[in-house]
């Protein structure tokens, strides 16, 4: 059986340009953002060709469709630039997770705490999860003690965002960066 090829969707495909426009008449906006009015497609293409620009269908659902005379390459570049800026402005909230068991040794826990300290210093939230197995679930105080011990070790650079709470067979706590010491 042959596989279907997956082709990447070209971002340019969302706008019809020049001879890709199928409407007989368009509402035309010229290169200076002046509303020309409803004209035939051939007249609009002629105006765009004379201005050495492209005719771009910006609103295909309107009746008649709205087309604008513009430099299509420049338009795509500016739109991509705006998209990049808006993505840059959005702050990605990242959460890292540490998984432990109620019987995790102090030595092993110290490695996990060291990792958490590094993440908190980078400004990343840390979720500390303790998973119960078998009858361990009957002793939640051990897990609470461990979680509070971790919170105490990291209290110089973090605050407890979500207090230890139980969700089924796990108990978790979320630490957020904060409270940096003013040394220097």
pLDDT in tens, 52-83: 888 888 888 888 888 888 888 888 898 889 88
Which pLDDT does position 58 carry in this prediction? 84
Which pLDDT does position 181 carry in this prediction? 52
Which pLDDT does position 173 carry in this prediction? 92
pLDDT > 60? residue 182: no
pLDDT > 60? residue 9: no
* Residue 28 · residue 37 · CB < 8 Å: yes
Q: How far does CA 26 lie from the centroid of its chain? A: 37
Bond prior to 182 in cis (omega within 30° of 0): no
Buried b (16+ CB within 10 A) or exposed e, 54-82: bbbbbebeeebbbbbbbebeebeeeeeee
How far is CA 183 from each of CA 50, 116, 153, 156, 180, rounded to the nearest angstrom?
68, 21, 18, 12, 9
**Which domains are seen in the chain, by residue range?**
13-89 (3.10.20.80), 95-177 (3.30.110.10)
- SS3 category, 45: helix
| Residue reference for tokens 């005379």 | 69
pLDDT > 70? residue 183: no
pLDDT in tens, 33-58: 888 888 888 888 888 888 888 888 88
* Residue 64 · residue 27 · CB < 8 Å: yes
pLDDT > 60? residue 8: no
Parallel, antiparallel, or unpaired: how do β-strands 66-70 and 25-29 relate? parallel
Which pLDDT does position 140 carry in this prediction? 87
Q: How many CB atoms lie within 10 A of CB 41?
A: 21
């Amino acid at each position: 059986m042959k596989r279907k090829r997956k082709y990447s969707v070209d971002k340019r495909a969302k706008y019809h340009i020049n001879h890709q426009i199928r409407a007989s008449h368009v509402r035309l906006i010229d290169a200076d953002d002046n509303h020309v009015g409803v004209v035939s497609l051939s007249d609009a293409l002629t105006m765009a060709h004379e201005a050495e620009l492209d005719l771009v269908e910006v609103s295909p659902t309107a009746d008649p469709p709205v087309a604008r005379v513009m430099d299509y390459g420049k338009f795509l570049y500016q739109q991509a630039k705006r998209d990049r800026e808006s993505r840059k402005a959005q702050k990605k909230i990242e959460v890292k997770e540490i998984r432990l068991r109620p019987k995790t040794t102090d030595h092993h826990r110290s490695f996990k705490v060291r990792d958490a300290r590094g993440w908190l210093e980078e400004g990343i939230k840390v979720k500390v999860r303790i998973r119960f197995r078998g009858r361990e679930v009957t002793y939640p105080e051990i897990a609470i003690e461990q979680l509070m011990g971790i919170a105490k070790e990291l209290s110089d650079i973090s605050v407890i965002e979500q207090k230890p709470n139980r969700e089924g067979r796990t108990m978790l706590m979320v630490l957020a960066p904060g409270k940096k010491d003013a040394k220097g």
